[in-house]
Amino acid sequence: MSVIEGTLRDEARAWLAENWNTDQTLAEWWHKLAAAGFAFPQLPEGYGGRGLPQSAARIVAEELGRIGAVAPPGGLGQSMGAPIIMDFGTEQQQQDWVFRLSAGQESWCQFFSEPEAGSDLAGLQTRAVRDGDVWILNGQKVWTSGARTADRGMMVARTNPDVPKHKGLSYFIIDVDAPGIEIRPLKQMNGQAHFNEVFFTDVVVPHDRIVAEPNGGWMVAVATLAYERQGQGGRGGGGGIQAGSPGVKNGDLDRPLSELIQQARAEGEQAANDRNKRTAGAILQLAKDEKRTTDPTMRQRIMSMYSESEALKHSNGRARAAAQKGKQPGPEVSTAKLTMSSLSRQARDISLELMGPYGMLADDDAPYDGAFHTMALSVQSASIAGGTDEVQRNITGERVLQLPKEPQVDRDIPFNEIRGLNKR
């Protein structure tokens, strides 16, 4: 342990002993964490952090977990929005948003994918046309999680159709409650409605909401996706209780911590149980319960899944070590996400085969109260969210294996000259 890490641990432990109690509200606690620089220590001072290496977050998380304290806010705004604004935003944007995100006062969502622009994000058709000091936004986004409770959204829109598709995009931060925005939930086959489709009709966005330069949004979008994949591929258990969802719209900020902790523990146990159904350990236990551990083919499949999951742990460890040295997320986040998709599909296929006809049952009628059935209907999203498997393979092939890029005949053609597009 370095001197800096030891000092930080001592400071965090002493500060928590003085400030942690369950009588305060979630808003009060998160504000204290951010003001002391313990919410996201890797962020600069005054923005919820202390300007320390990424490893500092792990130390604070361990101390939060040690005493059972509530963890800092978590969401797309915290994991993607705040670092993007620090990397590309103006000083005013940083002052307006980053501390608020660190203190859980805002929740953000991501307006990227469109019905005809998923894997080919640069082909998006949502338009923003400048009108003096504002932009007028029209179009549609889809697969937006958290849109119904978010305060703001990270938006990529086309601002210049007369140049090639990658060069005419701009990156905005928009208010989700702005007039002209309509949010419709999408019902999934697992019974949930995690995603939404969102329609924009003459939405007014101030010019100062652009991140980086106008028509320079592609590099910001790519960086955002890298932060997203880093979170998905390297997801792990952080220290502290995950209580409350950031954002004032759900009312959690005004609730006492004691009440939220009780709720979070119950929900956390259920969520952990659901996630664990995708692990090699859960599949092995299912095989034991179904008395299939002597089946050589099944043993081989489970061992293959276990080996792949162990390799992912080591890969994630290397990614975390690189992040602690201040390196930006690289192509390793793509391989990690691919592995997560693979493991999810293996868990689905093996578990349903092990249960046989009982795998078709759901809820209380199914073995394990339908947990494996629900998992099997949910894992398809793992290969889509954060960039499809096909996109991740292209990234890995080009950046790691140095293979030629996929043919893109429209890459250098002005967007409004690409045949077959419904121009807006």
CB-based burial, 24-57: b 16+ in 10 Å, e otherwise: bbbbbbbbbbbebbbbbbbbeebbbbbebbbbbb
Residue among 63, 106, 228, 332 flagged as catalytic: 228
Q: Rounded to whole angstroms, what are the CA distances from 74 to 25, 32, 101, 207, 368?
A: 17, 16, 9, 28, 30
Residues 6+ positions from 75 with CB-CB distance below 8 Å: 107, 108, 146, 245, 246, 247
Q: In this structure, are residues 205 and 128 in contact, taking their beta carbons and an 8 Å threshold? A: yes
How open is the CA angle 413-125-398, to the nearest 5 degrees? 55
CB-count burial class (<10 Å; 0-12, 13-18, 19+) for 405: exposed
How open is the CA angle 89-94-98, to the nearest 5 degrees? 120
Strands 134-141 and 169-175: unpaired
Q: How much of the chain is helix, strand and coil, in % rounded to 5?
A: 50, 15, 35
φ, ψ dihedrals at 110, nearest 5°: -130, 115
Query: Does residue 353 have an active-site annotation?
Result: no
Q: In this structure, are residues 211 and 84 in contact, taking their beta carbons and an 8 Å threshold? A: yes
The helix (run of H) or strand (run of E) holding residue 100 is: helix 91-102
CA dist., res. 100 & res. 93, Å (int):
11
Q: Which residues are catalytic, by number?
A: 228
